[in-house]
Chain A
Amino acid sequence: MSLSPNDSGARAQAPQASPWSGGQPVRLERVRKAYPAARPVFGGLDLEVQAGEVVALLGASGCGKSTLVRLVAGLERPDAGVVRVGHRAVSGPLDRVGLMFQEPRLLPWLDAWANVAFGLSDGVRGTADGDRRVRELLSAVGLPEAGSLLPHQLSGGMAQRVALARALARAPEVLLLDEPFGAVDALTRAGLQNLLLEVARRARTTVLLVTHDVEEALRIAARLVVLGGRPARVTLDAVVPGSAPRLPDRPGLGQVRRLALAALAPDLDTEPSPPLHGIAPGV
């Protein structure tokens, strides 16, 4: 049983394109959102993501990245303003909007196979088509033999891969990912990032990826959006040059990296600092 997919393996096994349809644009229009006894998260936020675009959403923790994703997923309603997926105003979870949480959130009483099948649409689950799709997805995330394992038998990284397969199961037009690869080792992470790009490109899926990792954003996103402040607004909206996946030392990334770091931490000087001398250890 091979549980550590390399990049090329994951790519070769990506699901076939047949049931996939094109992505949908996502639009936030003057969205306001506040929680009781706290300063508002959004005070009229506008953001547009094109159909098929891969956008990385960055920002300090607590800036509202996750709230934004939950609004698009229909798990929360804005206090004012509209969230649109395609032409539909979001008022609850939509069938073709997939969400992968920060933690796997697998259903502990279902094995890996059934957890992926849980993501299928009701009409497909249990049919030969559905079974083939689950098999393809488990292979695509590098777990072709793990279908009968229960969530508590999976490592954190394996569980997160099953969660990705579940999120992809109903061929989402919009795929939302909330810091999905934080708990996965570096090699697996690169494989999953490539798989994600492959799927998104093949189906023209719109991808909104929340991350705190500038390098992850530079590696896979076509566009990088930084949120900051309270209420949050877009402090940087930059196109990442070149086609993904990118190597970190690719020419042209330096400029975006500097802008992103400056937007994320405006108080820090992002120029390399001279080495600190004369500070006694332990002080």
Chain B
Amino acid sequence: MSAGATDAAGSAVGWRTGEGRLPSLRWAEPWLLPSLLLALWVLTTSVLKWFGPSQLPSPAQVLVTLRELVVSRELEPHLAASVGRIVVGFTAGAVVGTGLATLVGLSGTAARLLDPTLQALRAIPSLAWVPFLLLWLGIGELPKLVLVAIGAFFPVYVNGAAGIRNVDRRLLEVGRLHGLGGARLARRIVLPAAAPALLTGLRLGLGQAWLFLVAAELIAASRGLGFLLIDGQNSARADLMVVSIALLALLGKLADQAVRGVERRLLSWSDGFRA
């Protein structure tokens, strides 16, 4: 190879490794839109004062209100109530959803018996359940837990059943070849193979559990973030409303991140799943 060619190759390598290029700003991209919205919020409230405090409080006012709620320990029972309802309701819905998904995914008879009815029930909007649940279960904790469980149930069931139904038939054959059947086939082949779909269902179910939680707390509760929202509306305190909405968004996001973390751990084997 001539000296000239070597030089050309050398400079090409230097160029490719990105010498003299700007450092990557990719990490900042997800924060761009929230930052803009926050700036817009500050601009329209504190600076231009297009909105009064009773319409849309400024970020500073919201932080003051949040601090008051925390210091006076007023926030605690609301947070505890909402989080507790999510934990109990989501767990119940997810367990029942996974169980029925396994049954319907594995057994054609169970699918024909149950699936059409469950798909019809899925179409009922969350708020439509509330009056009946209050009528049947009274006004205590139970109707709220049941509503949250219903919210969690359907995504878990729908995704799980589809995932289990679509488990690679060739892997099932490997299981049968090694003498597995029934519950052992389900545990050692079906559930691991359907884990990606099941976890997607759990994540969507958790998201929907929060939606149904707010529906329950808006209508019939004396505690919880949904109640705080309604309380803010009734007492014309927009700052309270914004605080409760922001907390709902934050908690929902945190819960989602937690499930994503579990997903990353459990699905590290998957070729398509890259952390």
Binding site for B on A (CB under 8 A): 73-75, 92-93, 95, 99, 101, 103, 105, 107-110, 118-119, 122, 150-152
Binding site for A on B (CB under 8 A): 170-171, 173-174, 176-179, 189, 192-193, 195, 269-271
**Smallest beta-carbon distance A145→chain B, Å:** 19
B177 engages A75 (CB within 8 Å): yes
**Smallest beta-carbon distance A131→chain B, Å:** 18
Q: In this complex, what residue of B is CB-closest to A176? A: B177
B193 engages A93 (CB within 8 Å): no
Partner of B178, one of A103, A109, A119, A150: A119
CA distance A105 to B177 in the complex (A): 12
B270 engages A108 (CB within 8 Å): yes
Residues on A with beta carbons closer than 8 Å to the beta carbon of B171: 105, 107
Which applies to chain A's interface (DSSP): helix, strand, loop or mixed? loop
Residues on A with beta carbons closer than 8 Å to the beta carbon of B176: 75, 92-93
B177 engages A73 (CB within 8 Å): yes
B177 engages A109 (CB within 8 Å): no
Q: In this complex, what residue of A is CB-closest to B189? A: A107
Partner of B269, one of A101, A118, A122, A150: A150
Residues on A with beta carbons closer than 8 Å to the beta carbon of B270: 108-109, 152
Residues on B with beta carbons closer than 8 Å to the beta carbon of A109: 192-193, 195, 269-270
**Smallest beta-carbon distance B230→chain A, Å:** 46
Residues on A with beta carbons closer than 8 Å to the beta carbon of B170: 101, 103, 105
Q: A93-B176, A105-B173, A109-B270 are in contact. List 13 more A-B contacts (CB 8 A).
A: A73-B177, A74-B177, A75-B173, A75-B176, A93-B179, A99-B177, A103-B170, A107-B189, A108-B270, A108-B271, A119-B178, A150-B269, A151-B269
Q: In this complex, what residue of A is CB-closest to B184? A: A122
CA distance A119 to B180 in the complex (A): 11
CA distance A223 to B176 in the complex (A): 30
**Smallest beta-carbon distance A226→chain B, Å:** 26
CA distance A118 to B185 in the complex (A): 12
B174 engages A105 (CB within 8 Å): yes
Question: With A75-B173, A107-B174, A107-B192 in contact, do A95 and B269 touch (Cβ < 8 Å)?
Answer: no
**Most chain-A CB neighbours within 10 Å: which of B170, B171, B173, B178?**
B178
Residues on B with beta carbons closer than 8 Å to the beta carbon of A103: 170
Residues on A with beta carbons closer than 8 Å to the beta carbon of B193: 107-109
Residues on B with beta carbons closer than 8 Å to the beta carbon of A95: 179
**Most chain-A CB neighbours within 10 Å: which of B176, B269, B271?**
B269
**Smallest beta-carbon distance B168→chain A, Å:** 9
Residues on B with beta carbons closer than 8 Å to the beta carbon of A151: 269
CA distance A150 to B270 in the complex (A): 9
Residues on A with beta carbons closer than 8 Å to the beta carbon of B178: 93, 118-119
The 3 closest A-B pairs by CB, nearest first: A152-B271, A109-B269, A109-B192
Residues on A with beta carbons closer than 8 Å to the beta carbon of B269: 108-110, 150-152
Q: List 10 A-B contacts (CB under 8 A).
A: A75-B177, A93-B177, A95-B179, A99-B177, A101-B174, A105-B170, A107-B192, A107-B193, A109-B195, A109-B269
